[in-house]
Amino acid sequence: MSRTPDGPPPLSRNPLRLVKYVNDIRKDSIGFVGERFRLYGDMYYAPLGKTRLYVTRHPDHIREVLQTQGQKFGKTTTGNAARQLHRVLGDGLLNSNGELWKRQRKLINPAFHKRRIESHADAMVSATREMVDGWADGEVVDVSRAMMELTLRIVARILFDHDPAGETDAVAGAMRAFRDLLGTPALLPEWVPLPSIRRSKEALARMDDVVYGLIDERRRATDLDERNDLLSALVSALDDGSGMSRKQLRDELLTLFLAGHETTSHALTWTLYLLSQDTEHRSAVATEAASILEARAAKADDFPALEFAGRCLDEGMRLYPPAYVISRTALEDVEIGGYDIPKGAEVLVWIYHTHHDARWYPEPERFDPDRWLPEAVAARPKMAYLPFGGGTRTCVGKHLALMEARLILSTLAQHVELSLVAGHEVVKDPTVTLAPKHGMRMRVRRLH
């Protein structure tokens, strides 16, 4: 007997009901899914057209999907978002499956060795200091935009050894156009002549020109061993005597660019917002930075000591996970949490709702960095927190992102205090990542 979780009635072919569904999702997808969890429990079944869709939030289910039975699931390649991701990022780590993913991950792992990542710490801190030095006391800045530009500059330097003020502006512009495209209705045909689709096509062509140009220049270089950027490391990477093709290099670079740029900027923005609403914890971050760093610039070796800043970032990513949902497709019939998931079905893991579950996080909407003290972490299910995914497909750049965010946050705390502008509307915008819809306008107070 088939064991299927409860769920809403299947969508009828009534156009009005379909339009209402699309509007409800676009208006508040987080609230929409949260209400379904309230009605149907930790996993519900919600077929959409030909897609057999299972939606879950429970850490035990997540552990099975991503870890203990992870080999029975692959990255979802169907649907509007997946098609658009593939169109821009090709077969990079985010999209690839099977043997291709294993080979690419093996080739990429050495480029993210701890020592290599830590060698970029000075560049991260230097870029942050330059940004802060350009802020005047009392000035209002859009912190969301500022963090996006900062992380863009850093990731361009780490990936390409290139300054984004030049050619990589095209890459950043393409990523913005790509994000706009993902905000279009998922059920519209791709041939609809929307301005966002036209802009994304033009931006994609410009982006390819830039990235392929950088790849070709680096493949002609004779000093790869002396360079420290990830592009050089990937060009040099070999597996059984062969390396990545030109197209594979392009796909991996753009995947790393997107993952290493937008998600880190959102993690910082949301954490700075939360600290602006909590003067006690904001002061504690500044006190820690002053005590450990005094007047000098932060270094990679300071990462473990800047512990409270790290806990604030962990809590920020719990409340506002930049990558807030994960999709997997069953490669064979499988049982998850006592339910039968047939081959070809899609499983959505709603990280946002796992992170906001009162069973794992009492008073889940409260900002509390003490949730990340060792004893509190040990008391929770391991898969109750996964801002970087989980299992074998955990984000390859996790250590890079954590170090970058912690050094940036502590450097900011050394020099400025940021306060949300009165009346600024803070709204979540869950599209490809969880961004602040209206930016984050904050007033700068220089500390010295």
Span 334-378, pLDDT tens digits:
999 999 999 999 999 999 999 999 999 999 999 999 999 999 999
Q: What is the pLDDT of residue 153?
A: 86
pLDDT band at 88 (very low <50, low <70, confident <90, very high): confident
More confident residue, 94 or 13: 94
Amino acid identity of residue 149, one-letter, is E
Non-local (6+) Cβ contacts of 428 within 8 A are 30, 320, 434, 435, 436, 437
CB 144, CB 439: distance < 8 Å: yes
Q: What share of the chain is helix, strand, coil (3-state, %, to 5)?
A: 55, 10, 35
CB 54, CB 343: distance < 8 Å: no
Q: What is the pLDDT of residue 43?
A: 98
CB 355, CB 383: distance < 8 Å: no
Non-local (6+) Cβ contacts of 36 within 8 A are 7, 8, 44, 46, 55
Alpha-carbon dihedral angle through residues 304, 308, 310, 313, given to the nearest 10 degrees: -170
Q: What is the pLDDT of residue 160?
A: 80
Please determine, for residue 99, whether its predicted confidence score (pLDDT) is greater than 50. Answer: yes
What gap in Å lies between CA 291 and CA 293, rounded to an integer? Answer: 6
What gap in Å lies between CA 40 and CA 170, rounded to an integer? Answer: 45
Closest CA to 384 of 354, 359, 414, 413: 354
Which alpha helices (DSSP H) does 228-300 contain, by range? Answer: 230-236, 246-276, 279-293
What gap in Å lies between CA 46 and CA 78, rounded to an integer? Answer: 16
Q: What is the pLDDT of residue 226?
A: 80
What gap in Å lies between CA 323 and CA 350, rounded to an integer? Answer: 10
What gap in Å lies between CA 178 and CA 138, rounded to an integer? Answer: 34
Average pLDDT over residues 209-215: 85
214: CATH: 1.10.630.10
What gap in Å lies between CA 49 and CA 11, rounded to an integer? Answer: 8
Whether 7 is covered by a domain: the verdict is no
Please determine, for residue 323, whether its predicted confidence score (pLDDT) is greater than 80. Answer: yes
Q: What is the pLDDT of residue 436?
A: 96
Q: What is the pLDDT of residue 159?
A: 83
pTM of the predicted protein model: 0.91
Alpha-carbon dihedral angle through residues 353, 359, 363, 366, given to the nearest 10 degrees: -50
Whether 1 is covered by a domain: the verdict is no
Q: How far apart are the first and last CA of the chain?
A: 70
Whether 31 is covered by a domain: the verdict is yes
Please determine, for residue 171, whether its predicted confidence score (pLDDT) is greater than 70. Answer: no
CB 294, CB 319: distance < 8 Å: no
Please determine, for residue 187, whether its predicted confidence score (pLDDT) is greater than 50. Answer: no
Cα 232 to Cα 157, 224, 249: the distances in Å are 12, 6, 10
Split into its structural domains, the chain has a count of 1
Mean pLDDT of the chain: 88
Whether 8 is covered by a domain: the verdict is no
Whether 2 is covered by a domain: the verdict is no
CB 227, CB 234: distance < 8 Å: no
Q: How far, in whole angstroms, is CA 125 from its chain's centroid?
A: 21
Q: Token digits for 257?
A: 């660019």
Whether 160 is covered by a domain: the verdict is yes
* 352 phi, psi to nearest 5 deg: -55, -45
Q: What is the pLDDT of residue 270?
A: 98
Q: How many other CB atoms are there within 10 angstroms of residue 319's CB atom?
A: 20
The b/e string for 387-423 (b: 16+ C-beta within 10 A; e otherwise) is: bbbbbebebbbebbbbbbbbbbbbbbbbbbbbebeee
Q: How many other CB atoms are there within 10 angstroms of residue 142's CB atom?
A: 18
pLDDT band at 196 (very low <50, low <70, confident <90, very high): low
Environment class of residue 295 by beta-carbon count within 10 Å: exposed (0-12), middle (13-18) or buried (19+)?
exposed
Strand ordering across the sheet containing 441-446: 140-142, 441-446, 416-420
Environment class of residue 160 by beta-carbon count within 10 Å: exposed (0-12), middle (13-18) or buried (19+)?
buried
CB 339, CB 54: distance < 8 Å: yes
Q: How many residues does the chain have?
A: 448
Q: How many other CB atoms are there within 10 angstroms of residue 374's CB atom?
A: 7
Please determine, for residue 203, whether its predicted confidence score (pLDDT) is greater than 80. Answer: no
DSSP SS3 for 56: strand
More confident residue, 170 or 223: 223
DSSP bridge partners of 442: 141, 420
Whether 345 is covered by a domain: the verdict is yes
Please determine, for residue 84, whether its predicted confidence score (pLDDT) is greater than 70. Answer: no
Closest CA to 231 of 151, 420, 220: 220
Q: Range of 36's domain? A: 15-446
Closest CA to 61 of 79, 47, 73: 73
Please determine, for residue 2, whether its predicted confidence score (pLDDT) is greater than 90. Answer: no
Q: What is the pLDDT of residue 197?
A: 65
Whether 115 is covered by a domain: the verdict is yes
What gap in Å lies between CA 400 and CA 121, rounded to an integer? Answer: 9
Q: Token digits for 334?
A: 């499988």
